Amino acid sequence: MITIPGDRRNPSWLHKIKFVLDPIGYMESNYKQFGEIFHAPISGNYDPYIWVSHPQAFQKLFSTNPSYFDTVGSVYIKNFIGKDSVVAAEGKRHQRKRKLLLPPFHGEYLDNYGKSIILITNNAVKNLINNQLFLAHHLMQNITLEVILKVIFGVPEKPRIKQLKKAIIAWLEALNSPLISAAILVPSLQINLGSWSPWGKYSQSKQKIAEIIHEEIAERRQDNNDSYSDILSLLMNAKDEQREAMSDEELHDEILGLLFAGHETSAAGLTWAIYQLYKCSNVRKKLLQEIDTLGNNFEVKMIVNLPYLSAVCNETLRMYPPLPKTITRIANQSVNLMGYNLPMGTPVNGSIYLCHHREDLYPNPQEFRPERFLERKFSPYEFIPFGGGTRSCIGQALAILEMKLVLATILARYQLKLLENKTVKPKMRGTTLVPTGGVKMSFQGLR
């Protein structure tokens, strides 16, 4: 029996509930009590279920030469997105899917998304009313949903895609219920009593999304036009080394995963950034001075190369990583980790949040100080907002591009005011770390 420290007095379902209700408090209390490696069963029925937060542990988790850990398809992810998504795939199947998915998120395709992001941001902010309260999270969700629909389908104004947008909003709004977030982790709570029950409403929204995505796939296959450059078309035309294309179910699960990651996690990161920028006037002033140096050269390539803007984005993702933990890894052999000998089959989870708040790496970690990313270069085991190794987020380049362009556009052209007088605390919304209350703000017109 491995003597990993941790709370074994409470049942695993209670650990799951505690994590959903107060993820930061849960991680920090375990860290303070048990240290850099502890047992905390917030997923599955594993005993022990290991959490680590030291960069050396992340280096071993992410290592591929030699590889000590495999990533198994998470029951949590399969339940949330689908068994055929790249996130849920294992081994060679995961490698195949990753190769098919990578091209649309790099190179010329990525360059083409920039102008759309700026246009969508301007359209969303222009619709705000002077001096009227709005929630920053809602604004960012609106922007990121429009962006990801444009990127995936190419025609967001199409009636079917408008229906999809409504269904996605209903699906993700259901995640505001702690019961739904808990039920994703605890299958016994998944009680479907029709549309008036929380899980029934959640399931119906998800089923509606599936129907619309499959209708769009069927229409595209019938159309058989390979000239489109949106992600769905690129994935439908992609072939692996055996010249095999993705099935309809694979396409559905990949699109659903991209819709969630490209919308929900990006909206969370942007909301945290806006919150800190309008809370820390000195940081906002410094960023505005940098943005103003662009003058009339307000172009995508000029914006993405701004160093202080990059530092602001990194500091936001350090303090509030949208996904506060890594995908679970399973030891594929006996391995020593942080002084403990783990037998084959031991699940290990990396706490991104705890790593990003280590005093030895980030002095005064609760202080929002972008300068730390200009003063020091952090290793891929110290700064890991998009995970690491073969499981790093495929869409991270698009996420960073979107974050920079949305923030630069808003700060350069509009005036907002933060209406929060108290510190905004994080909460779990499904798998994502979001600000409680959505961050209250008001629109103050053009700059």
Q: What is the dihedral of CA 367, 370, 372, 374, to 10 degrees?
A: -170
Sign of CA dihedral 357, 358, 362, 363: positive
CB 355 within 8 A of CB 31: no
Task: Specify the 3-state DSSP secondary structure of 136.
Answer: helix
Q: What is the pLDDT of residues 243-256, one digit of tens each?
A: 777 888 888 888 88
Is 4 contained in some domain?
A: no
Query: In this predicted structure, what is the pLDDT of residue 308?
Result: 98
CB neighbour burial string for 399-414, b if at least 16 within 10 angstroms, e if fewer: bbbbbbbbbbbbbebb
Checking if the pLDDT of 90 tops 70, the result is no
The annotated binding site is made up of: 393
Q: Across 101-110, 171-180, 402-411, which has the greatest mean pLDDT?
A: 402-411
Distance CA 265, CA 259 (A): 10
Longest CA span, the chain: 65
pLDDT at 222: 86
According to DSSP H, which parts of 67-158 are helical?
75-80, 91-101, 107-126, 136-153
Q: What percent of the chain has pLDDT over 90?
A: 42
The one-letter amino acid at 58: F
CA 314 – CA 105 distance, rounded (Å): 20
> Above 70 in pLDDT, residue 91?
no
For 232, residues 6+ apart whose C-beta sits below 8 A from its C-beta are 152, 153, 154, 216, 217, 220, 251, 255
Among residues of the chain, what percentage have pLDDT more than 70?
91
Tokens at residue 381, please?
């085991």
82 close to 97: Cβ distance less than 8 angstroms:
no
Do the beta carbons of residue 220 and residue 233 sit within 8 Å?
A: yes
Alpha-carbon distance of 118 to 113, in angstroms, equals 9
176-224 tens-digit pLDDT = 777 776 676 666 777 777 777 777 888 888 889 889 999 988 988 888 7
Number of structural domains (the chain) is 1
Amino acid, res. 274 = I
Strand ranges in 183-308 using DSSP code E only, listed in sequence order? none
In a domain, 5, yes or no: no
Q: Is residue 272 domain-resident?
A: yes
Please report the sign of the dihedral spanned by the C-alpha atoms of residue 98, residue 103, residue 104, residue 107: positive
- Average pLDDT in the 348-377 region? 96
Please state, in angstroms and rounded to a whole number, the distance separating the CA atoms of residues 190 and 229: 39
Instruction: Specify the pLDDT at position 281.
Output: 94
Please state the pTM of the whole predicted model.
0.89
| 311 and 374 Cβ atoms separated by less than 8 Å | yes
Q: What is the pLDDT of residue 369?
A: 98
Q: Which two tokens stand for residue 55?
A: 């960069």
Binding-site residues for heme sit at: 393
**Nearest CA-CA partner of 213 in 186, 232, 200, 189:** 232
- Name the least confident of 29-43, 161-175, 297-311: 161-175
Average pLDDT, the chain: 86
CATH number of the domain residue 66 falls in: 1.10.630.10
Q: Where are the alpha helices (DSSP H) in 266-346?
A: 266-279, 281-292, 300-304, 307-319
CB neighbour burial string for 280-315, b if at least 16 within 10 angstroms, e if fewer: beebbebbeebbeeeeeeeebeebbebebbbbbbbb
Dihedral angle of Cα 15, 9, 48, 34, to the nearest 10 degrees = 90
CA 229 to chain centre: 24
Instruction: Tell me what pLDDT residue 259 has.
Output: 82
**Which residue segment(s) compose the domain that 51 sits in?**
12-446
**Tell me: the pLDDT tens digits for 398-436?**
899 999 999 999 999 999 999 988 899 998 887 789 999
Q: Grade residue 156 by pLDDT with cuts at 50, 70 and 90.
A: low
What is the rounded end-to-end Cα distance, in angstroms, of the chain? 63
Q: What is the pLDDT of residue 80?
A: 63
